[in-house]
A and B are shown apart, each in its own frame.
Chain A
Amino acid sequence: MRCQRPKNNYQQPKVHNLKSEAPPDKLPSLRKVLGLIWPIYRKHRVRLLLGLMALLGVDFLQLTIPRILKKGIDALSDGTAVQNDLLTLGLLICSIGILAAFLRFCWRYLIIGFSRYLERDLRKKIFSHVMTMDGSFFSKYTTGSIMAHGANDLSAIQMACGMGLVAAIDALVMSVAAISFMFQINTSLTLLALLPMPILAVTTRFLSGRLHQRFDRVQEQFSRMTEFARSSIASIRLLKAYTLEESQTKRFAELGQNYVRSSIQVARIQGLLFPISTMVGSIAMLLILYFGGRLVMLETISMGDFVAFVTYLYMLIWPMMAVGWVANLSQRGVTSLRRIFLLLSEKSQLPPGTRDLKPETREFRIRRLSFSYPGSNRAILQSINIDIQRGILGITGPTGCGKTTLCQVLARVFPVPDNTLFIGDTDINELSPKSVQTLISFVSQEALLFSSSLRDNIAFGNPNAGMELIEKVAKAAVIHDEIMSLPEGYDSMIGEKGVTLSGGQRGRVALARALLCDRPVIIIDDGLAAVDTGTEQEIINNIIPWFSGKTVLWVSQRVKQLSISDRLLVMDQGKISDLGSYDELVLRNSFLKEISQRQHLSREQDNA
């Protein structure tokens, strides 16, 4: 394409979600945030204490080895050494090595293991929390962003609290100990050896900060490429029909080249990071070689001192490298923890009413109910007034008129203002959300099924339901025969590894699921839109008996489904535009007239 592609079009939502959720002015304090994991630390304090002791033990043993070496080498250079002494020293080193290996196992298991416990507990906290949230929360957090919290943030915290913690403690202990031993040998030599070390710490810190930034850019390019590939494959039919293969490939190449460029920028820093630490270590070594060698010649220090000094210096290189790494890790950990803290601070917007419903209530009264989604000013429902009695209330209207919203508000997915919605005589806000939810069976627009067997899906509302009941509802929803034709019948798994159901079949399973609950109120939010017309008739015939004595809200765009309603509500732009019997409305309401005409055409073709 000749035109420059505008920026940010392929931005993947995941990246976006990670960055934009915490408004900077409302950042919770570090103390509050750490309060989130503090109880977990306390719970595992014995484990952590033991792990810490093991870690310190390893450090101590590691520092002992150069001292034994020094002893041996000094004896060698004095000429006092005998083979047997050397053997004893060697065996000593071996046993120290074995003990150190055992202690290493201990700290790994105890401390890194702890970080996994921490991860588990936090994940559980997030999951339990999300399960209690209402629709307002989910219009703010998408599934993708919750998944990102569950994956990226948790692993950042786990890393910081596991390896990060170990590295921090280890680096501190080792550097303090190594340096003090070095001081013991010779003060000025130690100062000389330490001279290049701060440079390493500073450059590592600086470079890894830059690396982080550039790495983010690579990630962003990567997600753009992914999104582009995804959308291209998704619309492959169109690309082929318009013979756009060449130009699309060219666009993809552009994205790919950007990605290559950013990756090389990352490599430029990565390529510096490791060699710099080696170089700084080598420079310190050079200083020791020259000035330390001089001291040996002047006989200020012994040859054994010199060798031990070199060994301690090797020990110092890793803590110095670790400083930058640990700082980065803990920074990420805190950022992630903050995000999770914010997520967990979200509250369900439903008033926690305490009253329970009177047993036989199933009538709704709606008074001047207006509603807009959280964070939006557009009123989806505008001053709705209606009494919903027992019997079938059909609801129809053009797309976007507020039908689904009305259903969701009734099902307590979103909060409503006081004095607008009553069940029986009680304001819905005084009732506990659970008591309202257990009143209602819901068939949603998109039949969401779970990756388990068909039996479990149908018996979702009552896992203890017997096979007889399951088959009964499946027959009513006209899905039984199709289930029986599957090789594994009701035990067939749904999902990627199991059977794939068509939209119509999914809708019917969802209907069976709702029928099985046998609750006093049934809401069908356009749940049978994908069912073909022949089956539609059969379902209608089957389920009318199930509805006797119940309050049924049946949203549909199909005249056949609407025609069985006792009363029919037509909505338009968030308002009730018409209410009456089907026979009245089909003559006077323009929307109903239009859809009925259009559907007659296709119905006749079906019946032919």
Chain B
Amino acid sequence: MRNFGYFEEDYTQVLSEKGLWRRIFNYLKPFLFPFSGAILLSLFVTASSLGLPWLMQRAIDLYITNPEQSFDLRMTGLGQTGFLYGGLVCLGFITAFLQVLLLEWIGQSIMHSLRQDLFRHLLDVNLAFFNRQPIGRLVTRLTNDIQNMHEMFTSIIVTIFNDLLRMICILGLLLYMNLRLGLLLCLFVPLATGLTILFSKLAREHFRAIRKQLSRLNAFIQETVTGVTLVQLFGRTDDLKKEFTNLNNDYLSKTLRQIKLFGTFMPLTELMSSLAVALILWYGGGEIIRRQLSFGELVAFFSYMRLFFQPLRELSQKYSIVQSALASAERIFNLLDTESEYRTDPDSAHAAPLSLQGELSFKDVTFSYKTNQPVLHDISFTVKKGETVAIVGSTGSGKSTLINLMLRFYEPESGIITLGGHQLPDIARNQLRKEIGVVMQEMLILPDTLLNNIVFDTKKTKAEVVELLENTRLTEFVANLPEGLETIIGEGGQAMSTGEKQLLAIARVLCRNPSLLVLDEASSAIDSRTEKLLEQPLEHCFKEKTVLIIAHRLSTVRRADRIIVLEKGRIIEQGTHTELLARNGMYSQLIALDFGSGSQPTMMNARN
């Protein structure tokens, strides 16, 4: 229920900071050329923003306050300087615009490739991994965490470079113009840096507290709104309102604390800049009296000082962006480091695909999801080529686990599974999963045409599919859809009944021409229409293919060549329909029940 903005831990330093930067840099590598372009542009941006006050100073000193020259000469000089000024303004504008675009492109491209890597990796990770991870968290890695890193690439790396460059240049210029006044202003650097770092640390704690409280508040609202009917029925509205009010007030007080913090620190930069103005006026004015400084230089001092304090104001914000980007990067790379199941695969690129036609066999297979709680005990059975074998058993008897092992979603603890005489670990997973066609209870329907949903990645043509459908008696359900094979299904498309979905799944699997067909029958009620729809295609499969079926319907069971009765992870009976009937064990009881004669006594037992 809690999936709304849950709280993520900050940077935990499981991966070292150096290691993180190295891996981030690896993604940057293909873009080194455009990236250096962006840095080059930042030289221009800085030059133009610093050049303007300089031109202003020259205009004042050389022309405006220079009574020695004639008025006309001064005006011409002023005009020329103005012209330069305008040119520099345009240069600044164009380079700044180009830089933003270039950085966005680089950042987005890097993030795109990182996102693709991560997505691809997620699809390759062992299935067991997904049992431990909530989906929401994994999606957050792919979306929000990547977004966080993107901000660092676009707005931080280069702007930090911009700012540093600018601040260094300003300090240099100030020192050049007037050494002592410049040195005085240098005093602000450690002061401002210290304040910024202190503020960033405090702000981060406050932000964390706020985020945590907000996610608690939102989780509470979400939960209560979801269960509002229950709350009303159980008469708890007032209590929950009280609880809500407490959470809401806590959130308010946390935000107010943050406002106090910001209210204290934000004006401090303004205060520093006022102090600097006072300092320049007092000391710089004195220098003018002592003829050590010109008017133009004094005005330039004011302008540069403004430019100097500008990046400081945003530094704390940038610091927190970097922190959150590093935290995201760590989470992303941690996820990328989880083991992919294909790492243990035989190298399929070099070996020719194995020929897998033939039988499936389980030999003494034991398996457990959690240690010491085995789901399967010493399972041995064989499905011969062309045979149809049904497995029956109650929920939790281990039927679905058989499929999980067959497809190598999990590895057996002990025992051997072979397909066509080859042990499963010798077969590349991709080939294995193409050879075993599984019709599962869950359905995957992509929002696409029916044809594409059948073909998937097999590259079959429409004609081939039509032929296949005719051969397998699957044409009827296609004909029932408004545009046949071209009907768009899935989210937003044509709705399909349960039976039709089952048929689609069968068609899809047959299209892949697997050597072994595995059917996991739906356990929920199936109406007679669906039953009828399924009958012919299933009949066809049983005749033509090697089939393993996890059965829930007696009609299916009776059609199988052989039946395996599974109970609590063990095979308790095995044999053909007639053999099992003759044994007069559990299977024959089931059959007797199905014909209705024994149903009354059982019900009487149930009522007592």
Contacts and interface: CB of A to CB of B under 8 A. Distances in A.
29 contacts: A3-B452, A69-B277, A69-B281, A76-B285, A76-B289, A81-B288, A86-B285, A87-B282, A100-B271, A105-B264, A108-B267, A112-B263, A150-B218, A233-B122, A235-B442, A242-B508, A260-B108, A270-B100, A286-B82, A289-B59, A289-B81, A290-B78, A408-B229, A434-B235, A442-B230, A450-B223, A461-B234, A461-B235, A560-B606
A89 B448 contact: no
A90 B285 CA distance: 10
B525 A595 contact: yes
Q: How large is the interface on A (under 10, 10 to 19, 20 to 34, 35 or more residues)?
A: 35 or more
B52 A282 contact: yes
A130 interface: yes
The 10 lowest CB-CB distance pairs between A and B, nearest first, are A97-B274, A271-B100, A267-B104, A90-B282, A104-B267, A108-B263, A9-B447, A90-B278, A101-B267, A93-B278
Given A245-B123, A411-B229, A605-B393, 18 more contacts: A3-B448, A6-B492, A10-B491, A127-B241, A143-B225, A147-B222, A222-B143, A240-B407, A241-B407, A243-B434, A252-B115, A253-B116, A260-B109, A303-B64, A448-B226, A496-B134, A532-B395, A605-B394
A135 B143 contact: no
B152 interface: no
Interface string A280-313: 0011011001100110111000010011001100
A203 to B, nearest CB: 12
Contact of B235 (A93, A127, A437): A437
A234 B445 CA distance: 12
Contacts of A138: 228-229
Contacts of B134: 496
A69 B267 CA distance: 21
Contacts of A411: 229, 233
B249 interface: yes
B120 A597 contact: no
Contacts of B567: 605, 608
A105 B92 contact: no
Interface stretch (B163-171, B316-324, B472-480, B586-594): B586-594
A367 interface: no
A109 B265 CA distance: 12
A608 B572 contact: yes
A16 to B, nearest CB: 12
Contacts of B108: 259-260, 263-264
A128 B222 CA distance: 13
Interface stretch (B23-31, B196-204, B254-262, B349-357): B254-262
Interface string A79-104: 00111001101111110111011101
Interface in A256-282: 256-257, 259-260, 263-264, 267-268, 270-272, 274-276, 278-279, 282
Contacts of A605: 392-394, 397, 565, 567, 586, 590
A467 interface: no
Contacts of B286: 83, 86
B113 to A, nearest CB: 9
Interface stretch (A180-188, A224-232, A371-379): A224-232
B589 A495 contact: no
A293 B59 contact: yes
Contact of B594 (A9, A283, A597): A597
B1 interface: yes
Nearest to B138: A233
Nearest to B295: A303
B482 interface: no
Contacts of B56: 285, 289
B606 A229 contact: no
A264 B227 contact: no
A311 B281 CA distance: 14
B207 to A, nearest CB: 15
A43 interface: no
Contact of B275 (A94, A127, A132, A311): A94
Nearest to B2: A496
Nearest to B238: A131
